[in-house]
Amino acid sequence: MRHLFEIRDQTGRVIRLTVERWKHIAQEHPAVQNIEELKDVLMNPTVIKPSKYNPQNVRYYYRFNKEKGKYLFAAVRYLNGEGFVVTAYYVRNL
């Protein structure tokens, strides 16, 4: 599985973005076009919340984008201590 990037978040966990997931994001959520902005939301989020559906393994990362007036949302699934970006898109509210 090829990765476009691998970073560490504020908690020190490794998060990866695969080519397959980036294709999904680019096709399904075309407003998210900047991989650097996606890295930024993961490394410097405004808020990190556990998923209400899978709080043990999924975290939601949010960072406010002043230009768009919305939050960039990224969902990360953790398996064996390593995170993988599932999706990312803009939302109005947390």
Q: Which tokens go with 59? A: 């975290």
Higher-pLDDT residue of 81 and 35 is 35
Judged against a pLDDT cut of 90, whether residue 94 lies above it is answered with: no
Token pair 């999706």: residue: 87
Domain of 58 in residue numbering reads as 3-91
Contact 2, 17 (CB under 8 A): no
Q: Which tokens go with 94? A: 């947390």
pTM greater than 0.85 (yes/no): yes
Angle at 26 between CA 22 and CA 27, to 5 degrees: 115
Compute CA distances 25 → 11, 34, 66, 81, 88, whole Å.
24, 11, 21, 23, 6
Total of domains in the chain = 1
**Across 50-75, average pLDDT:** 95
Query: pLDDT of 6-62, one tens digit each?
Result: 999 888 899 999 999 999 999 999 999 889 999 999 999 999 999 999 999 999 999
Contact 21, 35 (CB under 8 A): no
